[in-house]
Amino acid sequence: MLLSAKLAPTFDYPVMEQFWRTADELGFHSVANYDHFYGLVDNAGPTLEGWTSLAAMAAVVRRARVSCMVTGVTYRNPAVLAKMAVTVDHISGGRMDFGLGAGWHEAEHRGYGIEFPSAGTRVAMLDEALTLIKRLWTEESVTFDGRFYTLRDALCEPKPLQRPHPPIVVGGEKPKMLRVIARHADEWNVPSHGDVAEWARISTRLDEACEEVGRDPSEITRSVQLFVQPAQEGHLETQLAALPDLETAGCEHAVLSFYQPPAAQQLERCAELIVR
């Protein structure tokens, strides 16, 4: 099982940079942040922007892959996002994974004047955005007339270093989202919240969604996000103890998402589980 490390951009920049460097040096598969403008619990919590901090991460991290897990589809025009992602892919030397989701944080939409449509509409936006982003990454020019987006002879040069395009990571568990994942994703990610059996059930439903759209389920890497509170005694070990059962259930990649910056010794403890 691959093992990655994630820290939200809600801490001082030097703290984040040290986390990225340490995780890279310890051999984690990838290093990740997330895409929000407000704090998740306290809206006023200081939060740095996800993609500009991801570009910094791409320059600091020299071996591991990098990703924003995940970007909200409502926050940026997808053609502009495609261009941003290409830039980060080049900065990283072709080590970027592209995470995109339907978005959910209503308060930051309302605060910034960003439209926050229904969940079903956001899923449809995600489906359409992924369609045109992949075309921009692989075609000379793109004309597109969709329900949400319109492009006219749109150019996206240079192309990504990764061909045909960077791996696409999408998270979700509802039926409509699973069909979008089946159509577009190279990797599926969802939190386990400590319930390995539920993670396995959703993975099986993804298999069924792949059959519906004519996709080989084995083409999609199965991954999980485990939320870790390193400041809470014993919590890290509890989460790490779930990894063998997740692997048995078919999980191929675990992302350890830290609520607080872990101590160096805690990251080292996690790195002991990395398969070399």
- 104-131 pLDDT, tens per residue? 999 999 999 999 999 999 999 999 999 9
- Tell me: pLDDT of 40 over 90: no
- Residue 230 CB neighbour total at 10 angstroms: 20
Instruction: Say what the pLDDT of residue 201 is.
Output: 96
Cis peptide before 262 (omega within 30 of 0): no
Cβ neighbourhood burial of 269 (10 Å; 0-12, 13-18, 19+): middle
Residue of 20, 22, 21 lying closest to 9 (CA atoms): 20
Identify which has the larger pLDDT, 275 or 220.
Answer: 220
Contacts of 150 (CB under 8 A, 6+ apart): 144
- 239-264 pLDDT, tens per residue? 999 999 999 999 999 999 999 999 99
Instruction: Say what the pLDDT of residue 265 is.
Output: 97
Instruction: Say what the pLDDT of residue 19 is.
Output: 98
pLDDT mean over 47-73: 97
- Tell me: pLDDT of 66 over 80: yes
pLDDT mean over 232-245: 96
d(CA 31, CA 27): 10
Cβ neighbourhood burial of 12 (10 Å; 0-12, 13-18, 19+): exposed
Residue of 205, 199, 206, 204 lying closest to 245 (CA atoms): 199
Instruction: Say what the pLDDT of residue 193 is.
Output: 79
- 156-180 pLDDT, tens per residue? 999 999 999 999 999 999 999 999 9
Q: Which domains does the chain have, with CATH numbers?
A: 2-271 (3.20.20.30)
Instruction: Say what the pLDDT of residue 192 is.
Output: 84
- Tell me: pLDDT of 276 over 80: no
- Residue 143 CB neighbour total at 10 angstroms: 11
Instruction: Say what the pLDDT of residue 114 is.
Output: 97
Helix axes 13-26, 264-271, angle to 10 degrees: 30
Three-state secondary-structure class, residue 101: strand
Residue of 21, 24, 155 lying closest to 86 (CA atoms): 155
d(CA 9, CA 139): 33
pLDDT mean over 81-99: 98
pTM: 0.96
Cis peptide before 158 (omega within 30 of 0): yes
pLDDT mean over 50-63: 98
Instruction: Provide, rounded to the nearest whole percent, the portion of the chain with pLDDT above 90.
Output: 97
